[in-house]
Amino acid sequence: MSVGVSGMNHLLLLVFVQLSFAFGVAGLLWPERLVTVFDVLMFPWPATHKFVRTNAWAAILLSLVMFAALWAGLHAA
């Protein structure tokens, strides 16, 4: 299997890892800007800075776990 085919098979996961990491870092650096987004997404419940930071750490952790799983899968093949 060539590198190009393997890369295309995992393209969606790679994009999701990048987006998850980007939103996690954005939530840590600019929580006040993301509070308004979470207010719209979670309408009945108010979004707080603590909730945005917790969600940002979870997004970064999720992206690292997905990257590790993807890296292990590529090296096992």
**Number of domains, the chain:** 1
pLDDT, average across residues 38-59: 86
Structure tokens, 49: 């800075």
pTM of the model: 0.75
DSSP states of 5-74 as a string? Answer: HHHHHTHHHHHHHHHHHHHHHHHHH-HHHHHHHHHHHTTTS---HHHHHHHHHHHHHHHHHHHHHHHHHH
Please write the tens of the pLDDT for every residue from 6-30: 556 678 888 888 999 998 999 899 9
CA distances from 64 to 22, 32, 44, 77 (A): 12, 24, 31, 20
Q: Which domain holds residue 49?
A: 3-76
